[in-house]
Structure 1
Amino acid sequence: MTLGSFDNAPLAAEPALPERQSQASQIWKRFRRHRLGVIGLCITVFFYAITLFVEVLAPQGADAYSTRHAYYPPQRVRLFLDDGSFQPHVLSYKVVFNYETGQRKFEPDPKNVVELGFWVKGDSYKWLGLIKGDRHLFGARNPRQKVFFVGADRLGRDVLSRTIYAARVSMTIGLLGVAISLVLGILIGGVSGYAGGTVDQLIQRFIEFLQSLPSIPLWIGIAAAIPSDTPPLQTYFFITVVLSVLGWTGLARVVRGRFLALKAEDFIKAARLDGCGTFRILLRHMLPNFYSHTIAVITLAIPGMILAETALSFLGIGLKPPVVSWGVLLQEVQNVRSMATAPWLFLPGAVVVVAVLALNFLGDGLRDAADPHAQ
């Protein structure tokens, strides 16, 4: 082979370097393999989508009542009329009173048909308090007729509609509470871990003091301190703030531990020698190193906020009517009669279980996806 033949020989193609992926894309790729996490994400997105359109999705208004429909049983949706034509409908109930036992019995009345439809007229509302409307996604075609897909409470209010309205309060109180807790936890925990010494000791003793306070007696005292004529919006804001003030301590401990480990790194020392201030080092150099972990902590903290609000409202020391939340709705099942005669009043409790499980699945999936060493 001559020398010229080497010059004309094609060069071997260099192996292509793997495409670099951002941290967010790597986390998303790992998260998609977590089946329960994906299911939790879908359910969580569904719940928060409901909070935006509760007025349209609810068949009736949250405060609409009809005393003659007290403890009305759920109405089964039927697709075909007696003549075989397709028409979604439900049958109203006729009340049969048993004079010997003193009990009412509801029996379907084939002569009283309530036709159903999409985008029907119903109770008027203001969507998000801004836009007036009276259209509902699904309900009775005749606005003067009422339909109860999962039954009614003691005042004849639709349980399904009130549960949908309650989602806005119960789900958003978790977001607002965690947002405030996040700011307090990162700032106070970050200063504690970065400063160390006496500052760290004082902050940690204060955190231990807050964690040692008995929660139920504290809440009873706070509930007694709120005037009975306080507007519902102010009560909602007050409950959110108190939940946040008492809920930031766990996140602060986690942030402190991460900052104690990071402050000895070389890039932090270089930033300090470069003249960066404390808060710039905390926010621009240390905090981005565990964004993913913070997101997982937030996702796992929201269920705690939701359960706290539900428990406190159920005990009567949280939100109170006319505010509609899942805990307030569960007050309807505090007596034996309701539990025996109207088991459908437990619907808000079932919804709480589903929402909390979905958020926990989502948090577990994000936590595993954020850890590159997780299997």
Structure 2
Amino acid sequence: MTDTTATAAMQPTQIERRSQSALIWKRFKRHKLGLIGLWVTLFIYLCTLFVEILAPQGATAYSTKHAYYPPQRIHFFTENGSFKPHVLGYKVKFDYDTGSRSFIPDPRKVIALGFWVKGDKYKWLGLIPGDRHLFGPIKPREKMFLVGADRLGRDVLSRTIYASRISMTIGLAGVALSLVLGIAIGGLSGYMGGFTDQIIQRFIEFLQSLPSIPLWIGLAAAIPAETPPLETYFLISIVLSVLGWTGLARVVRGRFLALKEEDFIRAATLDGCSTSRILFRHMLPNFTSHIIAVVTLAIPGMILAETALSYLGIGLRAPVVSWGVLLQEIQNIRSMATAPWLFFPGLIVVIAVLALNFLGDGLRDAADPHEH
């Protein structure tokens, strides 16, 4: 046997040894937007773990004299050419005729910046106390507003970083509940078939026919205003999951209908395997990758829904800090005209949703063997 023949004979064996996850990852790496979405998503979720350290100020720290403070530009060199990262404070001028204020950079107010500096005290993840921040003013009493301040002089950048923990995890919580309901109800519908399938599908169609926004508004408005923030968080997660599971249930049902006619499922049935074992041991692993893709694409919808509900004032409420709550600051024309930087949380919402959509598209294409 020649070397060429031997190599050709070995290639099928090498391909067979690759697991499904390895093949999916190989296909996924060719999806450039999917890779970008993966790294951006991982970066955002990594930030949610260390918000207390990454945020220059605390989420509730305020300074009324810095109300609507414009963004400050970082300067790396002083006037004499020495390297010294800093920002400049502003001189405030009032126009008594119009009642407006103008902010003029003041070279005399130099705020030196550094890494791993002391600042507002916090408890990391609510457990470990600390006062060190990754980046900020060297002197703890000085203030820095790289993205500007709101009407109470609170740092928009710091509050946006804190808000990522709520807004990004509420999507995970809502999708987790939708995942359980979708797999359980969709799997039962597809496997049982007949009358059970008809009843479940008519119920799903009824839920899908309901207008989602009015239903979400009604359910969210039913949460009492005095409900503690933590309970409100979980209740909003449930509200977002009420309709979120129906699409996944349809996908699972279709897969189960196709798989239950396969020979290996018939063999498992004849072998006396229980229904639960057939569902979760033999059928579900065959399209786990598709479920992951569907779930990834569902998270952006949850994030947008929470943002919309909180923006309308019927979702999460202060003192909880989420992207939707932060966007309430810009609900009037005056705020939009005088402090456009308050749109910054909305920009982060767009980036997060796009990243998750790119990631979901990449996973869906990689998980579908018919696309390759």
Q: Where on the TM-score scale, by shorter chain, does this alignment land: which range?
A: over 0.9
Contact 1:211/1:249 (8 A) holds in 2: yes
SS of equivalent to 1:112: strand
Letter in 2 for 1:15: A
After superposition, give the CA deviation of every residue in 1:257-310 in whole Å (9 maximum; x if it has no partner): 110111111111111111111111010011111111111101101101101101
Match for residue 310 of structure 1? 307
Q: Which residue is equivalent to 1:21? A: 18
Aligned-residue offset at 1:217: 2.7
> Pairwise mapping of residues 1-375 of structure 1 onto structure 2 (< 5 A)?
12=2, 15-16=6-7, 17-18=10-11, 19=14, 20-375=17-372
Q: Which moved further from structure 2: 123-132 or 95-104?
A: 95-104
Residues 245 and 216 of structure 1, relative CA distance in 2, 3 Å threshold: closer
Aligned match of 1:6: none
Unaligned runs of 5+ in 1: 1-10
Aligned to 1:7: none
How far did residue 101 of structure 1 move?
A: 1.7
Instruction: After TM superposition, give the deviation of residue 219 of structure 1 in Å.
Output: 2.7
TM-score, normalised with respect to structure 2: 0.96
Compute the displacement of 1:72 (Å). 0.2
- Cα deviation, residue 243, structure 1: 1.0
Distance, in Å, in 1 between the alignment partners of 2:267 and 2:28 is 34
Q: Please report how far the alpha carbon of residue 82 of structure 1 lies from its aligned counterpart in structure 2 after TM superposition.
A: 1.8
Deviation string, structure 1 residues 49-85 (Cα, Å, up to 9, x no partner): 0000000000000000011100000000001112221
- Provide the rounded CA distance (Å) in 2 between the counterparts of 1:24 and 1:225: 43
**Matches of 1:264 and 1:76, distance apart in 2:** 64
SS of 2:346's partner is: helix
Q: Cα–Cα, structure 1 residues 285 and 253, in superposed 2: closer, same or farther, change >3 Å?
A: same
C-alpha contact (below 8 Å) 1:121/1:141 kept by paired residues: yes
Q: Secondary structure at the match of 2:116?
A: strand
Counterpart secondary structure, 1:246: coil
Secondary structure of the 1:60 match is coil
Question: Structure 2 CA distance, aligned partners of 1:361 and 1:265?
Answer: 33
- Paired letter, 2:296: T
**Does the CA-based 8 Å contact 2:91-2:105 persist in structure 1?**
yes
Counterpart of 2:6, as a letter, is P
CA distance in 1, matches of 2:177, 2:84: 50
Alpha-carbon distance in structure 2 between the residues aligned to 1:332 and 1:48: 25
Q: Contact (CA 8 Å) 1:79, 1:87: kept in 2 or not?
A: yes
How many residues align structurally? 365
Name the aligned partner's letter for residue 318 of structure 2: P
**Aligned equivalents of 2:202, 2:30: Cα separation in 1:** 41
Q: Distance in 1 between matches of 2:189 and 2:151?
A: 52
Cα distance, 1:221 vs structure 2: 2.5
Q: CA deviation at 1:12?
A: 4.6
Given that residues 223 and 317 in structure 1 are in contact (C-alpha distance below 8 angstroms), is that contact kept between their aligned partners in structure 2?
yes
Other structure's SS at 2:175 match: helix
Secondary structure of 2:327's partner?
helix
Moved over 6 A (4+): none
Q: For residue 243 of structure 2, give the secondary structure of its aligned residue in structure 1.
A: helix
Unaligned runs of 5+ in 2: none
TM-score by length of 1: 0.95
SS in 2 for 1:331: helix
Matching residue's letter, 1:230: T
- Distance in 1, matches of 2:131 and 2:304, equals 33
**Alpha-carbon deviation of 1:211?**
1.4
| Mapped contact 1:219–1:317 kept (Cα < 8 A) | no
Whichever of the two has the greater Rg, that structure is 1
How far the C-alpha of 1:195 sits from its partner, in A, is 0.2
Compute the displacement of 1:163 (Å).
0.4
Deviates more, 1:64-73 or 1:237-246: 237-246
CA offsets per residue over residues 302-326 of structure 1, 9 Å max, x none? 1011011011111111111111111
Residue 333 (structure 1) shift = 0.8
CA RMSD of aligned residues (A): 1.1
Identity over the aligned pairs, expressed in percent?
76
